[in-house]
Amino acid sequence: MAAMPLALGAPSHHGSSSFSSTVSSVRRAVPVPEARRTSSNARHRVSTVGCTATATATTTTLSEVDTVGHRAAPRGFNLTSSNIKMKATVTVHMKSFWSGLLEITSLSDKADWLYHWTKDLLVREWLQLELVSELNPEHPISSYAKYSGTGADEEFYTYEATFTVPASFCPIGAVRVVNEHYSEMFLGEVRIFPADQSPLSASATLFHCNSWIHPSHISPDKPRTFFPVTYSYLPSKTPGGMKKLRHSELLDIRGNGTDERKPHDRIYDYDVYNDLGNKRPVLGGEKRPYPRRCRTGRPHYTQGQDTDWETRATDKIYVPRDEAFTEIKEAAFLRELVLSVGHSLCTLKFKDMEDHKSQSFPSLAAIDALYEVDFRNQPSQSQPHTHAEIAGVMIGFVVDELERLLHGAHLPEEICRFLKFETPEIHDKDKFAWFRDEEFARETLAGMNPLSIQLVTELPIVSEVDGPSLITKELIEEQINGVMTAEEAMRRKKLFMLDYHDMFLPFVHKVRMLEDTTLYGSRTLFFLTGDGTLRPIAIELTRPESQDHGRRSSPSPTKDEWRQVFTPGSSVTESWLWQLAKSHVLAHDTGYHQLVSHWLRTHCCVEPYIIAANRQLSRMHPIYQLLHPHFRYTMEINAQARQMLIDAGGIIESAFSPGRYCMELSSVAYDKFWRFDMEALPEDLIRRGMAVRGEDGKLELAIEDYPYANDGLMVWDAIKQWASDYVKYYYPGAKDIIDDHELQGWWTEVRTKGHEDKKDEPWWPVLDSHESLVQVLATIMWVTSAHHAAVNFGQYPLAGYIPNRPTTTRKNMPPEMGGPDSKEMRAFLEEPERVLLDTFPSQYQSVIVMLILNLLSSHSSDEEYMGTYQELVWRKEEKIKEAFDRFKSKMVDIAAQIDKANMDPKLKNRNGPGVVPYVLLRPSNGHPEDEKTVMGLGIPYSISI
């Protein structure tokens, strides 16, 4: 007999994998075989188990199925006697003995674990299977599955069960599983087939469970129910015997809205953001509208407590069990996190952290020394050259401490390099790119936040908060050398703007009361040149009137509003002031990117779609199967973000503008600007004036060379066509859409519960036609895949070099602080570079930002890319398979077009000396591990970290 699985007595085996970036679905908890990552034809690896046909007096065949959506009669057996023998193979992954033991803290619980583990090892009957008939579900047939060997994938073990099925049983509509082992196990797949046939035969009924099954002693009355993966059923097409099971599964997932959730629960419910920390307002409700998150049932924090953050922040936040990272994903995440933390290890070594958090870099060369670039950027010997001065406090502290422990021995170069970060693409291409106006402007179209640039449609520019801008027509005409009037430039769509004036202005005084930070409202004006590139021509910074303008420790009298327009002047002083003004704008843009373009629009607003889909759409529903790949890992990533990124005192508040008010800013943006009907790419471009729709329905871009829009529209069209083909197959007419109570229930819940604060808005689409359903589905698919890829995977390549994308600013503009004789202006005139370095994030903030951006921008070993994988049910339906193949072919073609565009010297926003090619929306060619693109491997299906 084969040996017992090592999963019960030794650590599980994990192959090498690099950390990813994407959010979860039920299937996703499975460690991903190599075949799944490289081929659209082998997503699910089959664990083939040799089986000897059991001799019976009966001959059994399972007929093939009719078209899923239009199946006239249930699939059945051709029976020649009253009973037949059936076999089942089950693939299972279990936590190792050691991992289970280490999760337990008390000695008594460890002893209990050891006792039950030994008992389970002797009994060996760990899985009970129940076959459920499509026509008579009240009388299932049960059997125990026993260990039979290791599967094709080393992470999984195979179990077998034998059933005697009566002739009256009819087709198998579901399988119910009870885990009688003491610990949870991961159920991969179940195959049920006639005993005299192969498990790979066409007669086999396949269940891709891909779900954690908790032990029966935790929940003895609730076996898990799984439905075959080879068929999709609209509610009206569901076999009669399965309707009750289908509905009861949804009821179990919804829960009752009470109690604190346990780690093994599969409950999806809604709650407001009331767990970000003490002294932080609740997000969600009339006062501060916000999308809803998954309800955990944890006690809400108390506003009156004195601590600055929630003491429970270190506890793991509940997500439904199948939404959590796989063990491989978790291991890869932790490995990447540990490696990243290694770069900034010294942050844990300071005896008094507060003494170092505000320390600036001593020089630009000290910033360069953070990266592993063969030490090409080391300062000359005439400059300061101690470790602390060259590499900054972070790396220098670690190196000095290690060398002290080694009694003065110098560390090998390899160890020093381990402590450095990878050189970001922008710095590797052109180490001076961050200083150039051309790059500053180019990144508004092809950077990590290409979603804020907008067309100027009115002059003069007027604020809803404080009136007209100081960027006058005369100033515009002076900056464009009088080649045309300001009105003509606006009429010819030559003027564009980054507008963070009204959004940031209400937060200016509150932020300035915080230590070591500042804030302005800002506007940045660009002029479209003849070669298709933007040229920045003016930056307006505003500090509103204040009655307590000074720091908390040194309040000053009432001060009038201060605002000034900076231009790329010809003098040295004007040039340095212009560079400082750009730093403030970049901090605004980077903060807005992280809080709105990234967190709010992709992570936060998507979570309600996932919760509603699980509560209202059966796993058998074709729309659930279409959206499911796009939801992978999202809820787990969002939970981890609430734990270490957006929580009170977390990384976002510590290192991004506007500090502790970051989440309030996100709420304001949701309230004022977020609309579902504007989240589709074409509508977003039109809203910002970056495109108009012609009479033929096609979009005409205001800037012809706008890489995000150029590439994005090709991807959008491909996604929408795939969604359209899919919907047409399952919904022949509008009535089918209207009568689908699960579909309508999902969309109603998205609007009324997930986005409750906007439930009465008139712009919500109504699912009453093919066009409206396709638009809704394509929008969700776009946001979770391409939109997220565009704002996520370029973060470290572009913002990992702090001068290129500072995340916050710490010093006011020198002119604000007084005239030419003021202390601040004298310091600026004497050492402008020192003022710039003091304006940038501190060393502590910079290293924390680099650490997290490196983590967020990474791709995962188990990532699934758009067009490279299709669900098994899609391959079973010929028309759906053909539609997916067209989608896949289109994505390959788009990749080729993007590669061609990136090599076109006429497209100066994506090609030229030192220019980072735009590949954030470049699809994979089907073999992402072979891709050698600059910033990504392709477009993942779902949101990645």
Residue of 507 and 214 predicted with greater confidence:
507
In sequence order, the β-bridge partners of residue 542 are 521, 563
State how far the alpha carbon of 853 is from the alpha carbons of 379, 658, 807, 875, 919, in Å: 26, 18, 11, 38, 18
What's the mean per-residue pLDDT of the chain? 81
Q: Look up residue 167 and give its amino acid.
A: A
E strands in 95-234: 127-133, 141-150, 157-166, 172-179, 185-194, 205-213, 224-226
Lowest mean pLDDT among 61-70, 84-93, 264-273: 61-70
pLDDT band at 868 (very low <50, low <70, confident <90, very high): confident
| Residue 88 reports pLDDT greater than 80 | yes
Cα of 303 vs its chain's centroid, Å: 30
Structure confidence by residue, pLDDT tens digits, 157-209: 888 999 988 877 878 889 999 988 777 888 888 999 888 888 888 888 888 88
Structure confidence by residue, pLDDT tens digits, 300-352: 765 555 554 444 445 678 999 888 776 655 655 555 555 454 444 433 333 34
Q: What is the 3-state secondary structure (H, E, C) of 29-51?
A: HCCCCHHHHHCCCCCCCCCCCCC
Contact between 149 and 158 (Cβ < 8 Å): yes
- Torsion angle in degrees (nearest 10) through CA of 95, 90, 170, 234: 60
Q: Do domains 84-234 and 452-596+807-840 have the same CATH topology?
A: no
Q: Report the alpha-carbon distance of residue 713 to residue 367 in Å, rounded.
A: 37
- Torsion angle in degrees (nearest 10) through CA of 361, 365, 366, 371: 130
Question: Which segments of 103-146 does DSSP mark as H helices, in order?
Answer: 107-123
Domain residue ranges of the chain, discontinuous segments joined by +: 84-234, 452-596+807-840
In sequence order, the β-bridge partners of residue 539 are 524, 566
Task: Give the mean model confidence (pLDDT) for residues 590-595.
Answer: 97
Q: Which of 19, 184, 18, 206 is nearest to 92 (CA)?
A: 184
* Percent over 90 (pLDDT), the chain: 51
| Residue 791 reports pLDDT greater than 80 | yes
pLDDT band at 135 (very low <50, low <70, confident <90, very high): confident
| Residue 374 reports pLDDT greater than 50 | no
pLDDT score for 394: 44
Q: Name the residues annotated as catalytic.
A: 598, 603, 788, 792, 945
What three-state secondary structure class fits 908? Answer: coil
State how far the alpha carbon of 453 is from the alpha carbons of 585, 635, 670, 919, in Å: 13, 30, 18, 19
Q: Which of 870, 813, 854 is nearest to 573 (CA)?
A: 813
pLDDT score for 375: 33
pLDDT score for 411: 43
| Residue 490 reports pLDDT greater than 80 | yes
Lowest mean pLDDT among 71-80, 139-148, 652-661: 71-80
* Percent over 70 (pLDDT), the chain: 75
Q: Report the alpha-carbon distance of residue 511 to residue 61 in Å, rounded.
A: 72
Q: What is the 3-state secondary structure (H, E, C) of 274-324?
A: CCCCCCCCCECCCCCCCCCEECCCCCCCCCCCCCCCCHHHHCCCCCCHHHC
Contacts of 719 (CB under 8 A, 6+ apart): 778, 781, 782, 785, 786, 866, 887
In sequence order, the β-bridge partners of residue 633 are 23
HSE-up of 865 (CA within 13 Å, CB side)? 29
pLDDT band at 379 (very low <50, low <70, confident <90, very high): very low
pLDDT band at 152 (very low <50, low <70, confident <90, very high): low
pLDDT band at 83 (very low <50, low <70, confident <90, very high): confident
pLDDT score for 151: 61
| Residue 652 reports pLDDT greater than 90 | yes
Task: Give the mean model confidence (pLDDT) for residues 283-296.
Answer: 96
| Residue 407 reports pLDDT greater than 70 | no
Residue of 520 and 102 predicted with greater confidence:
520
| Residue 752 reports pLDDT greater than 50 | yes
| Residue 612 reports pLDDT greater than 90 | yes
pLDDT band at 377 (very low <50, low <70, confident <90, very high): very low
Residue in the structure block whose two tokens are 């089950």 = 90
Spatial strand order in the sheet of 495-500: 454-455, 495-500, 521-528, 534-543, 562-566
Q: Report the alpha-carbon distance of residue 348 to residue 393 in Å, rounded.
A: 12
Instruction: Name the fold adopted by 452-596+807-840.
Output: Nuclear Transport Factor 2; Chain: A, (3.10.450)
Q: Report the alpha-carbon distance of residue 82 to residue 483 in Å, rounded.
A: 92
Lowest mean pLDDT among 313-322, 504-513, 821-830: 313-322
Residue of 274 and 553 predicted with greater confidence:
274
pLDDT score for 310: 41
Cα of 272 vs its chain's centroid, Å: 20
CATH H-level, domain 84-234: superfamily = PLAT/LH2 domain (2.60.60.20)
Q: Which of 557, 546, 552 is nearest to 507 (CA)?
A: 546
pLDDT score for 570: 83
Task: Give the mean model confidence (pLDDT) for residues 869-891.
Answer: 91
Q: Report the alpha-carbon distance of residue 898 to residue 610 in Å, rounded.
A: 31
pLDDT score for 1: 38
DSSP for residue 612: H
- Annotate 635-658 with DSSP letters as a single string: HHHHHHHHHHTSSTTSHHHHHSTT
DSSP for residue 669: H
| Residue 863 reports pLDDT greater than 90 | no
Structure confidence by residue, pLDDT tens digits, 13-30: 333 333 233 333 333 333
Give percent helix, percent strand, percent coil of the chain, each to the nearest 5: 45, 15, 45
Task: Give the mean model confidence (pLDDT) for residues 429-442.
Answer: 96
DSSP for residue 840: S
Phi, psi of 680 (to 5 degrees): -65, 145
This prediction has a pTM of 0.85
End-to-end CA distance of the chain: 44
Structure confidence by residue, pLDDT tens digits, 242-251: 888 899 999 9
| Residue 547 reports pLDDT greater than 70 | no
Contact between 656 and 593 (Cβ < 8 Å): no
| Residue 74 reports pLDDT greater than 70 | no
User: CB neighbours (10 Å) of residue 577?
Assistant: 23
Q: What is the 3-state secondary structure (H, E, C) of 933-944?
A: CCCCCCCECCCC
